[in-house]
Structure 1
Amino acid sequence: MVQFVKSVALPFLATCLFTFVLASTLHSAFVLKGLIDIGINVRPFDALTMLLQDMLGLLPTYGVIILLTLALAFSFARFSFLRHTQRGDIRLFTYALAGAVGFLVMLSAMQPILNVTLIAGARGITGLLAQCAAGCMGGLSFAVLTRYRFISSLIIFIAKYKRTTM
């Protein structure tokens, strides 16, 4: 159980957080661009404030949806395509593709299920592709983090450092 937490659960949660921050930032950037395109003057402080408010506001909904989407996409990738091989290049490609396709399915399914496009920045094709790119980056980060056990090593290092400084 401890091995699972260190090798899969912590990297997965870190990946979800990274992917959410990236997707939320891209969403805010597309909304801000839309405001600027219609002539609204957006000061840098206002843009940063909006970005942070979007992250906090989207976390309970979009954050959870991203977590579920990536869990399904990565599980499907692992048990469908990666059962027989763990070659690094195939892992990177498979998890990146799973993240991107997962986002495409998630965003496409939101309209019929929720009757709303939750992510305004993904209403156009460019915004949709940007969100899929966030999913792709999430897949790449998961492949790297689970391959090199980076998160668990970092946590162990921090814990040891805290003990020696206290």
Structure 2
Amino acid sequence: MSFLTRILPSFLVSWLLTFTLASLFHSQYVVNQLVNVGVVVGFSDRASLTLDDWLGLLPTYGAIIVVALAIAFFVTAKLNKKVQKYSTQLFVIAGIVAFAIVLIAIESIMNIHIIAGARGWGFYAQLLAGAVGGFAFSQLVKATKTQKSC
């Protein structure tokens, strides 16, 4: 029952945050590249592009992120039983590693950047999204654990 009441909701919230940040970073990277070549992009166009990207990336990139984070957080939870002192740091690293593996593996296998916003500094922005997701997950799990014991 702990999985359904504590782990799954925490995972879903952290995944949604992670995916939203990854999508936002991707969109803004692409818009920035357009601006760099002289295209004028107004705020409404920027916002519309961001929303369209979020909806368009959800079924594919969102699903990839779910799987990557699920594996990373599962492995980290097992490791965390032995090294509880560094729980938050381990989950942050797990989020970063999950994104790095996904982006590098897809580029290596398919010889393309599946996420255009993961080129150059955009790659590090994607890793930041993974780090935030790992941090959020660790904090949400701790919070629900504390509420449960009160």
Pairwise same-fold verdict (TM > 0.5): yes
Q: Which residue of 2 aligns with 1:94?
A: 90
Deviations 1:33-55 (A, max 9, x none): 00000000001000000000000
Residue correspondence of structure 1 range 3-152 to structure 2 within 5 A: 3-79=2-78, 81-87=79-85, 90-124=86-120, 126-149=121-144
- TM-score computed with the length of structure 2 as normaliser: 0.92
For structure 2, which runs of at least 5 residues remain unmatched after alignment?
Answer: none
Give 1:5 deviation, angstroms. Answer: 0.9
> What TM-score do the two structures reach when normalised by structure 1?
0.84
Aligned partner letter, 1:108: I
Residue type at the aligned position of 1:135:
G
What amino acid does structure 2 have at the position aligned with 1:65?
A: I
SS of residue in 1 equivalent to 2:125: helix
Report Cα offsets for 1:74-123 as digits up to 9, x if no partner. Answer: 111122x3122433xx1110000010011011100112334431110111
CA RMSD of aligned residues (A): 1.6
Residue aligned with 2:80, SS: coil
Q: Report the Cα distance in structure 2 between the residues aligned to 1:65 and 1:145, rounded to whole angstroms.
A: 22
Distance across 1 between alignment mates of 2:13 and 2:102: 20
Q: Number of paired residues?
A: 147
Name the CA distance, whole Å, in 2 between partners of 1:37 and 1:84. Answer: 48
- The match for 1:163 is none
Percentage of pairs with the same residue: 39
Q: Which has the larger radius of gyration?
A: 1
Deviation of the 1:27 alpha carbon: 0.4
